[in-house]
Amino acid sequence: MSTDNQETVIQHLEAFRQMLLKCLSALAIGIIPMFFAAPYAMDMIMAVIMGQNEVVLNYFAPMEVFILQIKTALVLDIVLCFPYLAKQIWNFVVPALYEHERQFIRSIILSSSGLFVIGVLFCLFLILPMVIRFGLSFVSDHLQPLFGIGNILSLTLWLSVVFGVMFQFPLITYALIRTHIVSYDTVKTKRAYVFVGILILSAFLTPPDIVSQLLLTFPTYGLFELGLFCGKKA
């Protein structure tokens, strides 16, 4: 390897190190206020999910709520710092791209952020309350629910991330067609395979019940069709 190539590699590694340090520093600073904000966020999330259902949440270990507070703070920290993290990653990547590639990726990043937020809100305000109501539908004189806050909040955080990620499907479909990696006609004829693939992926990502699986499958497939439609118009 020539001296120039070695210097280029070292410069890239140093730029990557600086970007990583800035991202980790931002997360380290943000985690402190987010830790104190976490209890209020937990109360708000529980109020949204439980709605008008009079359900008492329980915890079963002395440190359970504290650990949940840390998990919630980490998620809030990532959400709070996301614009700064995206900017640092963008600054690292952009020198290697052509102008038209920069414009395309910039539009994809903005759309991706919006779809992620929509996916999380869709999960919090529609899907999770439906899951809770479905679970409460089995209540009888001899059968009463006992919800643990650990299970409910962990499920909320996990499904929120899952829905945010799965809502990227229209962008993935659009990007594949726009960049000519696959053609519109090819994707169109593989709809059945895509649906089965989404169904299987949803089974892995959701709890082991058919309700959660279907509630993730159908919106995701609808978004795939949206991406296919936009890819055709591009």
Report yes or no on 103 lying in a domain: yes
Instruction: Give the pLDDT confidence score for residue 96 in this predicted structure.
Output: 66
Rounded CA separation 130/205 (Å): 18
Report yes or no on 53 lying in a domain: yes
pLDDT beyond 60 at 7: no
For 117-130, what is the mean pLDDT? 87
Report yes or no on 181 lying in a domain: no
Report yes or no on 191 lying in a domain: no
Q: Tens digits of per-residue pLDDT, 129-144? A: 888 888 888 888 888 8
Query: What's phi and psi for 207, nearest 5 deg?
Result: -60, 160
The parent domain of residue 134 ranges over 3-167
For 18-22, what is the mean pLDDT? 91
Residues with Cβ within 8 Å of 68's Cβ and at least 6 positions away in sequence, in order, are: 42, 149, 150, 153, 154
Report yes or no on 26 lying in a domain: yes
Report yes or no on 131 lying in a domain: yes
Report yes or no on 33 lying in a domain: yes
Report yes or no on 145 lying in a domain: yes
Q: Where residue 25 falls among pLDDT bands split at 50, 70, 90? A: very high
pLDDT beyond 70 at 101: no
Q: Of 215, 227, 158, whose CA–CA distance to 187 is shortest? A: 227
Number of domains present in the structure of the chain: 1
Q: Where residue 100 falls among pLDDT bands split at 50, 70, 90? A: low
For 50-57, what is the mean pLDDT? 77
